[in-house]
Chain A
Amino acid sequence: MELFFLALLFITMILMLTSGFPVAFALPGSAIITIGLAALTGYLFADDPSAYFAEGGPSQWLSAGVTNFRSLYWIVERDTLIAIPLFIFMGIMLQRSKIAEDLLVAMAQLFGPLPGGLGISVVFVGALLAATTGIVGATVIAMGLISLPAMLRNNYSKSLAAGTICASGTLGQIIPPSIVLIILADQLANAADQANTMRKALYKEATGEFSMPSQFDVVSASAGDMFMGALIPGMILVGLYMGYIFIYAWLKPEVAPPVPYDGDYDRKFFLNVVLALVPPLSLIFVVLGSIILGVATVNQAGAIGAIGAMIMAGYRLHTGSKSTMYIPAALAIFALLAITFLKSRYDLNIKSIQSAEQWFGIKLAFGAVGILIVAIAWSAMRAIKIDDTLKHVMIDTAKMTSMVFIILIGAAMLTSAFRGFGGEEIVKHFLTSLPGGFWTQFLVVMLVIFLLGFFLDFIEIAVVVVPIVAPILLANPEANVTAVWFGVMIGLNIQTSFLTPPFGFALFYLRGVADKIVKTTDIYKGAISFIGLQLLGLLIVGLFPSLVNYVPNRTHLLSETAPPPLNPKLQHCLENYVLEQYANDTDTIKASIEKASALDVSSLPKKLQSKFKASTEDALKGLGQTQAIVDAKTAIATFSVDYKPLQQQVSAIKTSISKLNKKEESLQEELDNFESEASVGYAGLKSKIDNINAERTELSSSTPATWEVENGKYKALAETLKKARRAYLKSVDSSYENFDEIRSVIASAPALAEIEEPLKSMEKMITDSNDKDALVEQLKVVEGLFSKIAASSKIKSKVTKARRSFRKVKDDVAFNEAKNKAIAYSKDALKIYQGEITWRTEANTALQADFESYDAAIAKTIGLRLQSRFTDPQAKEMAACLSHHRDLSLSF
């Protein structure tokens, strides 16, 4: 029965959506109606309102829906959604203050004289401006009103002009900072979590091991990742569009004739162009740059964009005297420059003011911030006074934000109902039963999304379809795609859908504002070539996932908070990198190790001498063990050519069997509820279970006979690789650990020398003191000096003991006794210290240079895992390696 209500849910939803009632309420409304009907029929015919739900009951799912509503802003993880009103504010401010229009006009004047120049500027401006609103309709309408007449006036072919505008209007979906990317990221992050849980279950089932290594985790997506991932694909599209227009215009000049600029190319012209182009472009670069460099969060970047747009509006809107026009903007720029200067000159951390100079710097910074606030307030005043611009911007922002978020809320209820009727299981079952594995599933999903794009806007698709299908696709270990890549592919796909006749959204919007001379067929014809370009873009991004994954990975690995080389998620790429280094330089590395083992280390104490010997020996041993890893890997690669199809076949059988097991379990439970074998329905159930048993036997017998043997072989190979790896890692890690220890001990000689004075004066300090508490404090300070010096604990412990002598002191007699004790300890400390400093200084002079050069020779290979972070070139290599989708199916 729940199937019937699932179908009813769909039919109601489709009916309600097509009726034209606002989507934000049609979605949850149909969900509530269906849940209500199911509860009612359940109550009437089965005496139980929850009878027709896959699990749970009506009130449970409705409450879950309400809790989902709340979760939109209740949990901190979804905070990136806050960026949406900020970016909308920025985009609308740019449009309302006509900065967007100026940009288009200036670009057209600048590039007009080129073949197809006007079209190229439309693409460029569309890409930049649509980005900030991301609502197809708004952009296409704006561009259609501004640039279509200009293109037609200059004898552009109608279809090319219409196609260019439609395509450019949809570009904003995919080019950051688009709000749909933020919504996709929000949905995908959740989906990736679910996918990871599914993959862990799969791993457990396949291998029997309890926990999945974290390098097999599903790669999630944040809003920042989405922005960075979409950057290169977006630029590729812009490049394709521009290239197409340019080449087309060059081959057939009559379709897009050059538009000569009437005026002179004088200083005034260039000044105007610069004024129109530079501010909005720099704003967008600052916003995107701060995200990509990992400096600011997406929300903070959004606030910067919104304030920046308002300051620009402040001078653009101004109509009064020219002399005061740019003052607020100039003040803002001055304040920013002053802040940058102060920041480089002083430590402005307000929570740790340590010197008068720093306090002075902070006071200056307060002044600069004050100026910035004046500039912002002044610009805001202008935006309020002139044409009520700020009010209109706020109203538009409110409407658009509310539109987006109430849909998000509505879809949450729909998802809840969908789960209630068991829809998730059905979709999962359908997708996984498709032949051909991941890529068929992926294509089917993409096709569905493409078709939905005819009727639903981006946001609806993102919130309705993505939560249902994304976990299933992301969990697949064979393709192992990243959430970011999947999101970008969805984005490109919907964008194409919006362009496709006869239903494409963009085409409708343009039809609405275009002149009557532009026929609908012109618009369709124009769109077709751009659809071709879109498909080409999809193909490129689909074939080269690195185009998407590289930028976020790179930013992540180069950031301050980059994971250290020891991070388990990086081990696969790290191994590849190191093996490559060995392959290139084995001889050099070997020579350096041999040179190091020949070093005269007699200045070190015996214990460290033997450690060093062990270290070089381990290094050589590790070097010898690399070949085993390479061999084992090659062996697995050769073996899996034949093994992989077999493994896939068997794993499909296993999945079917485990499904049958689940079915049987639930049937068995039902069976157990019967009171006697004579009850009605008992026999039917029993025969069902028997059927399942028969099916299962058949399935198990269909497992190829060779499987056991082949699987055994594979396991043996995998075990060999694992052993080789373990042996190698043991050698190199212990080698570098020992070396690092020795090196840091001798390198501490100068630091150790610095504490000579305090140590020497300790005895006098104790003798002279007559205040116990003060003395203890002083000794604590001395102890603190050791904190950064390697292997100094022996000396430190003597100082500690000296301090602890005073612990139970109550009167003067005891105090004096304790003093004597403490003096004895301080003498001990000094004695040990003198022994240490002598050999350390000696060793440091003798060995430092050699050690440094040895370290340089092995830090990239043997010692790489133990470095505190990757060097920049290494991080880039890692990013490139991580950007490929690695097939993990053999491990599952």
Chain B
Amino acid sequence: MISQSSTRIFARALVGIVLLYLISRFFIFWHGWPDFSETFQALFSSNSENSLEGNQLYQGLALIMLYIATFVLIFLSVKRNPNVSLTEDADKYKKISYFIIRAAFWATFLVGLADAIVSLMRVEEVLVQVVGAETAQILDQATQRGLYLHYPLMVLGIVIAAFTRSLGFIWLAFLIVLAEFTIVITRFIFSYEQAWMGDLVRFWYAAFFLFASAFTLVENGHVRVDVLYSQITNKKKAIVNAFGSLFLGLPVCWTILYYGMATRQSSLAAPILSFETSASGYGMYVKYLMAAFLIVFAVSMAIIFISYFLKSCAFLFDEKDAELPMGGEH
């Protein structure tokens, strides 16, 4: 019989893998640490071509140790607090997912605004006057602008997210309307339209529907085929949701995370690592972040699916504060 605490360990491990995967990608891509497969080959293959140089081997081992240590910690933390209910854990993960979304929203909002202003000044050739030649040169290059403008703003976004409690991302709906309406005004009244204006709308719009997905799932906003679903008992609904979260939802997130970032050339990793920009010369320099949106989507969805899975399990285990996570009857 599956116990509650083993379910909690399982769920916590699933969350841990997602976060660890991101951390390991950071070390592998940014610091050139060896991939898992490289480490394993170096350890177990006799072929000297596969061996890693001293330092690299330790880095690879450190990553593996990080995974093992995390799993041990997860195991211990659950065992030490055996009386936490699944629902409480589910809420904790929901909060983590919402925090990720909120941080991503603030980062998107700040970066979008700042980059739009810089792009405006650059295309109107006043950038040098405003910020000086040296800074202007930094802002002129995608990599530099990313490192010295976007990254600090993203950190600021995370800080703001830590001190606020609102959903955040819903404001993107209004921001998209305003950004597009600005195009209407400048184009029809002043015959003025620039590539960065369209880029800003696209930037926020992509963030909008991807960030909204986790919240939509919690609010039962993702449409279901309810010919049968509306007829079955709540227990069966909980089974459907638990099963679906594990075998339909999570694989989608993992496909995005894995195939998007398997190597430096993968479709999400490549643009991020190269600070890709759009082809239109004087647009914004944020295209690479639009690839990162999909990662935010995958991570937030993975964690929310785990939360959803726990909630459904809580219902199946007849926990007293459990409620059916599908927003009640419709």
A20 and B242 CA atoms in complex are apart in Å by: 12
Residues of A within 8 A of B210 (CB): 402, 405
Distance between A286 CB and nearest chain B CB, rounded to angstroms: 11
A16 and B209 CA atoms in complex are apart in Å by: 24
Name the CB-closest residue of A to B124: A351
Residues of A within 8 A of B209 (CB): 85, 398, 401-402, 404-406
- The answer to the question of B233 belonging to the interface, with a C-beta cut-off of 8 Å to chain A, is no
Residues of A within 8 A of B240 (CB): 19-21
A350 and B192 form a contact (CB under 8 A) = yes
A455 and B266 CA atoms in complex are apart in Å by: 36
* Residues of chain A from 12 to 54 with CB closer than 8 A to chain B in the complex: 16-26, 28-30, 32-33, 36
- The answer to the question of B226 belonging to the interface, with a C-beta cut-off of 8 Å to chain A, is yes
- The answer to the question of A283 belonging to the interface, with a C-beta cut-off of 8 Å to chain B, is no
The 8 Å CB contact of B267, one of A24, A70, A85, is: A70
Name the CB-closest residue of B to A135: B223
A413 and B191 form a contact (CB under 8 A) = no
B223 and A398 form a contact (CB under 8 A) = no
- The answer to the question of B16 belonging to the interface, with a C-beta cut-off of 8 Å to chain A, is no
Tell me whether A350 and B190 are in contact in the complex, defined as CB-CB below 8 angstroms, given that A82-B180, A86-B176 are known contacts.
yes
* Residues of chain B from 216 to 243 with CB closer than 8 A to chain A in the complex: 216-217, 219, 221-230, 232, 237, 240-241, 243
- The answer to the question of A394 belonging to the interface, with a C-beta cut-off of 8 Å to chain B, is yes
A29 and B252 form a contact (CB under 8 A) = yes
Among listed A58-66, A521-529, A599-607, A690-698, interface-contacting one:
A58-66
A369 and B201 CA atoms in complex are apart in Å by: 20
- The answer to the question of B256 belonging to the interface, with a C-beta cut-off of 8 Å to chain A, is yes
Name the CB-closest residue of A to B221: A399
B202 and A79 form a contact (CB under 8 A) = yes
The 8 Å CB contact of A455, one of B180, B227, B330, is: B227
- The answer to the question of B206 belonging to the interface, with a C-beta cut-off of 8 Å to chain A, is yes
Distance between B58 CB and nearest chain A CB, rounded to angstroms: 30
A225 and B227 CA atoms in complex are apart in Å by: 34
Distance between A148 CB and nearest chain B CB, rounded to angstroms: 18
Tell me whether A19 and B213 are in contact in the complex, defined as CB-CB below 8 angstroms, given that A82-B201, A410-B252 are known contacts.
no
- The answer to the question of A634 belonging to the interface, with a C-beta cut-off of 8 Å to chain B, is no
- The answer to the question of B208 belonging to the interface, with a C-beta cut-off of 8 Å to chain A, is yes
Residues of B within 8 A of A26 (CB): 225, 244, 248
Name the CB-closest residue of B to A390: B174
A86 and B180 form a contact (CB under 8 A) = yes
- The answer to the question of A365 belonging to the interface, with a C-beta cut-off of 8 Å to chain B, is yes
Among listed B88-96, B139-147, B181-189, interface-contacting one:
B181-189
A299, A406, A455 — which one has the most chain B CB atoms within 10 A of its CB? A406
Q: B interface, how many residues as a size bin?
A: 35 or more
Tell me whether A23 and B206 are in contact in the complex, defined as CB-CB below 8 angstroms, given that A66-B267, A306-B177, A503-B227 are known contacts.
no
Distance between A137 CB and nearest chain B CB, rounded to angstroms: 9
Name the CB-closest residue of B to A66: B259
A406 and B222 form a contact (CB under 8 A) = yes
- The answer to the question of B294 belonging to the interface, with a C-beta cut-off of 8 Å to chain A, is yes
A457 and B226 CA atoms in complex are apart in Å by: 11
Among listed B48-56, B75-83, B148-156, B165-173, interface-contacting one:
B165-173
Residues of A within 8 A of B221 (CB): 399-400, 402-403
- The answer to the question of B212 belonging to the interface, with a C-beta cut-off of 8 Å to chain A, is yes
Residues of B within 8 A of A456 (CB): 225
Name the CB-closest residue of B to A509: B330
- The answer to the question of B30 belonging to the interface, with a C-beta cut-off of 8 Å to chain A, is no
A59 and B266 CA atoms in complex are apart in Å by: 11
Tell me whether A70 and B222 are in contact in the complex, defined as CB-CB below 8 angstroms, given that A86-B180, A349-B190 are known contacts.
no
Distance between A308 CB and nearest chain B CB, rounded to angstroms: 10
Tell me whether A296 and B184 are in contact in the complex, defined as CB-CB below 8 angstroms, given that A73-B205, A397-B173 are known contacts.
yes
- The answer to the question of A69 belonging to the interface, with a C-beta cut-off of 8 Å to chain B, is yes
- The answer to the question of A261 belonging to the interface, with a C-beta cut-off of 8 Å to chain B, is no
- The answer to the question of A302 belonging to the interface, with a C-beta cut-off of 8 Å to chain B, is yes
Residues of B within 8 A of A74 (CB): 287, 290-291
The 8 Å CB contact of B249, one of A29, A89, A350, A394, is: A29
A304 and B183 CA atoms in complex are apart in Å by: 10
Q: A interface, how many residues as a size bin?
A: 35 or more
- The answer to the question of A143 belonging to the interface, with a C-beta cut-off of 8 Å to chain B, is no
A24 and B225 form a contact (CB under 8 A) = no
Tell me whether A85 and B173 are in contact in the complex, defined as CB-CB below 8 angstroms, given that A16-B244, A70-B291, A350-B191 are known contacts.
yes
B176 and A402 form a contact (CB under 8 A) = no
B171 and A394 form a contact (CB under 8 A) = yes
- The answer to the question of B157 belonging to the interface, with a C-beta cut-off of 8 Å to chain A, is no
The 8 Å CB contact of B181, one of A295, A307, A362, A394, is: A307
B172, B201, B206, B209 — which one has the most chain A CB atoms within 10 A of its CB? B209
The 8 Å CB contact of A21, one of B171, B213, B232, B248, is: B248
- The answer to the question of A391 belonging to the interface, with a C-beta cut-off of 8 Å to chain B, is yes
Residues of B within 8 A of A457 (CB): 223
- The answer to the question of B310 belonging to the interface, with a C-beta cut-off of 8 Å to chain A, is no
Residues of A within 8 A of B185 (CB): 369, 372
A533 and B301 CA atoms in complex are apart in Å by: 44
Tell me whether A300 and B222 are in contact in the complex, defined as CB-CB below 8 angstroms, given that A29-B248, A350-B191 are known contacts.
no
- The answer to the question of B215 belonging to the interface, with a C-beta cut-off of 8 Å to chain A, is yes
Distance between B55 CB and nearest chain A CB, rounded to angstroms: 30
Residues of B within 8 A of A32 (CB): 251-252, 255
- The answer to the question of A325 belonging to the interface, with a C-beta cut-off of 8 Å to chain B, is no
- The answer to the question of B247 belonging to the interface, with a C-beta cut-off of 8 Å to chain A, is yes
- The answer to the question of A303 belonging to the interface, with a C-beta cut-off of 8 Å to chain B, is yes
Residues of B within 8 A of A407 (CB): 223
A343 and B191 CA atoms in complex are apart in Å by: 11
* Residues of chain A from 470 to 511 with CB closer than 8 A to chain B in the complex: 503
A413 and B224 form a contact (CB under 8 A) = no
A300 and B251 CA atoms in complex are apart in Å by: 37
Tell me whether A66 and B255 are in contact in the complex, defined as CB-CB below 8 angstroms, given that A349-B191, A362-B190, A398-B215 are known contacts.
yes
Name the CB-closest residue of B to A399: B221
Distance between B328 CB and nearest chain A CB, rounded to angstroms: 14
Distance between B102 CB and nearest chain A CB, rounded to angstroms: 13
- The answer to the question of A67 belonging to the interface, with a C-beta cut-off of 8 Å to chain B, is yes
Tell me whether A399 and B177 are in contact in the complex, defined as CB-CB below 8 angstroms, given that A29-B247, A30-B248, A369-B189 are known contacts.
no
- The answer to the question of A130 belonging to the interface, with a C-beta cut-off of 8 Å to chain B, is no
Tell me whether A300 and B180 are in contact in the complex, defined as CB-CB below 8 angstroms, given that A23-B223, A25-B249 are known contacts.
yes
Tell me whether A18 and B225 are in contact in the complex, defined as CB-CB below 8 angstroms, given that A25-B244, A394-B174 are known contacts.
yes
Tell me whether A20 and B237 are in contact in the complex, defined as CB-CB below 8 angstroms, given that A306-B181, A455-B227 are known contacts.
yes
The 8 Å CB contact of B228, one of A18, A343, A362, is: A18
A400 and B174 CA atoms in complex are apart in Å by: 14
- The answer to the question of B11 belonging to the interface, with a C-beta cut-off of 8 Å to chain A, is no
B198, B219, B267, B291 — which one has the most chain A CB atoms within 10 A of its CB? B267
B226, B227, B287, B291 — which one has the most chain A CB atoms within 10 A of its CB? B227
- The answer to the question of B15 belonging to the interface, with a C-beta cut-off of 8 Å to chain A, is no
Residues of B within 8 A of A73 (CB): 202, 205-206, 290
Tell me whether A33 and B244 are in contact in the complex, defined as CB-CB below 8 angstroms, given that A20-B237, A398-B169 are known contacts.
no
Residues of A within 8 A of B192 (CB): 349-351
A471 and B241 CA atoms in complex are apart in Å by: 36
A20 and B224 form a contact (CB under 8 A) = yes
Name the CB-closest residue of B to A410: B252
Residues of B within 8 A of A29 (CB): 244, 247-249, 251-252
- The answer to the question of B260 belonging to the interface, with a C-beta cut-off of 8 Å to chain A, is yes
- The answer to the question of B268 belonging to the interface, with a C-beta cut-off of 8 Å to chain A, is yes
Residues of A within 8 A of B169 (CB): 398
* Residues of chain A from 396 to 439 with CB closer than 8 A to chain B in the complex: 397-407, 410, 413
Q: Apart from A70-B268, A405-B209, what are 6 other A-B pairs with CB-CB below 8 Å?
A: A16-B248, A18-B225, A79-B202, A82-B202, A400-B221, A512-B330
Q: Which 10 pairs between the two chains have the least Cβ-Cβ distance?
A: A20-B229, A29-B248, A21-B244, A22-B222, A399-B221, A303-B180, A402-B212, A73-B206, A405-B209, A394-B170
Residue contacts A-B, CB under 8 angstroms, 20 given = A19-B244, A23-B225, A28-B248, A32-B252, A36-B251, A69-B294, A73-B202, A74-B291, A85-B176, A85-B208, A303-B183, A307-B177, A365-B190, A380-B174, A393-B173, A401-B212, A403-B222, A405-B210, A413-B255, A457-B223
